[in-house]
Structure 1
Amino acid sequence: MLTICIPTYNRPDKVRQRIIELLPQLSEFVKILIIDNASVEPVVDIIEDLITGIDKVKVVRNKYNIGMSANIARCIEYADTDWLWILGDDDLVTSSAIDRIKADIAAADEDVCCLKYSSYCNENSHDEVLNIKEFLSHKAMGFDYVSNIFLISSSIIKIKNISALDKMMDTINSMVPHVVLIFQLLINGGRISFIKNKIVEKTDSDISWSIMQLEFNLKLAPQFATNVDNETFRLVKNFFCNHITFSPASIFLRAHKMSKSKSREYICYLYSGIVLQSFFSKYGFLKFVSHAFLYFLFQLRVDKFLPICFRLAGMRFHLKYNKFMTEN
């Protein structure tokens, strides 16, 4: 049986749309659980007219907002079925998603711990089932490939044999607890099945996470990989620390944007950590120097003059700057 768990916060219209998409696909095989992270308007009030009398849809509301990562972890905590689909509240569900998942679960070998579907991040070129070393050494390994692993809605995770979540909870600040869980299962001998089909499509929505925070926190993730051989640990570390990286210029602009709405001291803390991390990255001294130089400019409050600089650079650059500052 499959639990579809939707962690959400302050996206009432998105959650309602997901329920509208899923209700026609409900069967004895599946149930839906919504984890409301203390939204201003309770989710249950938004969808009550849709789920009244349907016992396969439940809503759990947190007393306080516990943050994105902890709310994802709660999905794993509450699920009591063999398989779990953590569905992003902003990802459109395809009309045949549940039938597709049911068929793929039935066809999966016993040691398959995750079904990884294609997504708007990356297309799987063909179906294949890989162990952890085969997966981490895959010829397609790159930004898009890794982004699809991180996309929460494209994974169906086998949680039947999970006995403890301590490693995942230890790395909850990595912002990707669902990926840490998949890696735990792979390290314990599971295999990941890559499938060409899609079960979700992208929709327009506010981004609820920060690229700067991801860049900063992701380096924490590999600590879960204890008691593995050196080669596996090297591959795990490379996956988390080197494949999701952002250019110094991108980080500088993100810091500038975040400083407009959040504590500058906090942004400086994130930024300085990214600079330090870049010193140890495989991309070498030049990237570190670039990060350090732009961080120095940021500290000098040069970012205050960016709107003027982009205006002087011409209308095309000014429009690009304005678009960057206003887009989610």
Structure 2
Amino acid sequence: MKVSFCIPTYNRVKFIEDLLESINNQSSHSLIVEVCISDNASTDGTEESINIWRDRFNFPILYQRHNENIGPDRNYLSAVNMGTGDYCWIFGSDDILTKNSLALMEDKLAAGSDIYLCDRRELDISMTKISNPHRRWLNGGSRLFSFSNEADLIEYFSKCNSVGGLFSYLSSIIVKRNKWSDVIFDESYIGTAYAHVYILLRIINNMNSTLQYISLPLVDCRGDNDTFESNGKARRIKIDFIGYLKLREDFYNNDTKIYISFGRVLTKERPWFYTSLA
């Protein structure tokens, strides 16, 4: 089984090495690993560091540097398109794997689910202070979701604690590459910051798909470093608001029950802001 770590990045050279180190330090697994880095025209020396990392780590590193910044959405898609593995683990370039994550994932991947969603641990920017030891995206423990009808989607959405359950957080997502590649992308999602969510929702809406939720923090999330909060918390909320309302309209406008269920996830995320959406 081959897993591609698909890493979109922009000016995060000081953090990427920590991520690569965390992959390199994984033990007790037999997965074939490759790393795919899609660089959004970084100016911080990322390109110059690639050969150093290739010599240092025991897995292949595929690298593509765009001549100009193509925006986050196209860079997310570019990173996944670089992958050649059976599965693509989409990964933020400032996060890291927790110990033994790959050993656990090897066991889970044997089941062949289309999407895997894991939880995260939240730390400060230096990765030394834990602010939340276990951020759970869904209520309940680990379980398999099979999507074959409207009721299955409603049940899944009802379990979501936040938009993390709706794939907002990159590093929690492992997806079967051929399922991702089968989706015809909608270009109207460029600029939303949620192009990847469109593809993942397309997969589970095909009604012949499976998602394995893993209620374990397999990822350490570096806090105080959200690119989309660089212009303030209000901008971050606006991105979520616009992106997820568009997804709801495009996917579920003709199905009232799913439309309402999807909207309720947003009210859980920011109840003081989305109270009119349920």
User: Which one of the candidate residues 33, 37, 40 is aligned to 1:37?
Assistant: 40
Structure 2 counterpart of 1:214, which letter? Answer: D
User: Which one of the candidate residues 120, 132, 136 is aligned to 1:122?
Assistant: 136
Check 1:55–1:98 CA distance in 2 against 1; reply closer, same or farther (3 A cut).
closer
- Residue in structure 1 matched with residue 216 of structure 2 by the alignment: 197
Measured after TM superposition, the shift of residue 243 of structure 1 is: 4.8
In the alignment, is the contact (CA less than 8 A) between 1:173 and 1:220 conserved in 2? no
In the alignment, is the contact (CA less than 8 A) between 1:180 and 1:224 conserved in 2? no
Q: TM-score scaled by structure 2? A: 0.76
Structure 1 counterpart of 2:259, which letter? Answer: R
Between structures 1 and 2, the one with greater helix share = 1
Check 1:236–1:101 CA distance in 2 against 1; reply closer, same or farther (3 A cut).
same
> What pairs with 1:67-106 in structure 2 (closer than 5 Å)?
67-106=71-110
Q: Report the Cα distance in structure 1 between the residues aligned to 2:98 and 2:216, rounded to whole angstroms.
A: 10
User: Which one of the candidate residues 131, 154, 162 is aligned to 2:146?
Assistant: 131
Structure 2's unaligned 5+ residue stretches are: 122-134, 229-235
- Residue in structure 2 matched with residue 156 of structure 1 by the alignment: 174
Check 1:145–1:59 CA distance in 2 against 1; reply closer, same or farther (3 A cut).
same
Measured after TM superposition, the shift of residue 239 of structure 1 is: 5.8
Check 1:173–1:137 CA distance in 2 against 1; reply closer, same or farther (3 A cut).
farther
Check 1:225–1:212 CA distance in 2 against 1; reply closer, same or farther (3 A cut).
closer
Measured after TM superposition, the shift of residue 186 of structure 1 is: 0.8
Q: Report the Cα distance in structure 1 between the residues aligned to 2:262 and 2:184, rounded to whole angstroms.
A: 19
The 3-state SS of whatever aligns with 2:178 is coil
Measured after TM superposition, the shift of residue 215 of structure 1 is: 1.9
> What pairs with 1:219-298 in structure 2 (closer than 5 Å)?
219-222=245-248, 224-225=250-251, 230=255, 233-234=258-259, 237-238=262-263, 242-245=267-270, 247=272, 281-282=276-277
Instruction: Tell whether 2:204 aligns with 1:186.
Output: yes
Write out the 4+ residue segments of structure 1 that deviate beyond 6 Å after TM superposition.
Answer: none
Q: Report the Cα distance in structure 1 between the residues aligned to 2:36 and 2:185, rounded to whole angstroms.
A: 24
- Residue in structure 2 matched with residue 49 of structure 1 by the alignment: 52
Check 1:224–1:95 CA distance in 2 against 1; reply closer, same or farther (3 A cut).
same
In the alignment, is the contact (CA less than 8 A) between 2:73 and 2:191 conserved in 1? yes
Q: TM-score scaled by structure 1? A: 0.65
Measured after TM superposition, the shift of residue 62 of structure 1 is: 1.0
User: Which one of the candidate residues 60, 65, 69 is aligned to 2:69?
Assistant: 65
Check 1:234–1:28 CA distance in 2 against 1; reply closer, same or farther (3 A cut).
closer
Check 1:162–1:178 CA distance in 2 against 1; reply closer, same or farther (3 A cut).
closer
Greater mean deviation of Cα atoms: 39-48 or 151-160: 39-48
The 3-state SS of whatever aligns with 1:137 is helix
In the alignment, is the contact (CA less than 8 A) between 1:3 and 1:30 conserved in 2? yes
Structure 2 counterpart of 1:6, which letter? Answer: I
> What pairs with 1:2-13 in structure 2 (closer than 5 Å)?
2-13=3-14
Higher Cα Rg, which structure = 1
Measured after TM superposition, the shift of residue 235 of structure 1 is: 5.3
Q: Report the Cα distance in structure 1 between the residues aligned to 2:185 and 2:250, rounded to whole angstroms.
A: 5
In the alignment, is the contact (CA less than 8 A) between 1:7 and 1:88 conserved in 2? yes
Greater mean deviation of Cα atoms: 158-167 or 64-73: 158-167
In the alignment, is the contact (CA less than 8 A) between 1:6 and 1:88 conserved in 2? yes
Backbone CA RMSD of aligned residues? 3.0
After superposition, give the CA deviation of every residue in 1:260-304 in whole Å (9 maximum; x if it has no partner): xxxxxxxxxxxxxxxxxx79x436xxxxxxxxxxxxxxxxxxxxx
Structure 1 counterpart of 2:204, which letter? Answer: L
Measured after TM superposition, the shift of residue 205 of structure 1 is: 4.2
- Residue in structure 1 matched with residue 125 of structure 2 by the alignment: none
After superposition, give the CA deviation of every residue in 1:55-108 in whole Å (9 maximum; x if it has no partner): 6112111111111122112123222322110111122211212222222101x2
Measured after TM superposition, the shift of residue 128 of structure 1 is: 1.0
- Residue in structure 2 matched with residue 208 of structure 1 by the alignment: 227
Structure 1's unaligned 5+ residue stretches are: 249-277, 284-328
Q: Report the Cα distance in structure 2 between the residues aligned to 1:163 and 1:50, rounded to whole angstroms.
A: 29
- Residue in structure 1 matched with residue 124 of structure 2 by the alignment: none
Q: Report the Cα distance in structure 1 between the residues aligned to 2:87 and 2:101, rounded to whole angstroms.
A: 14
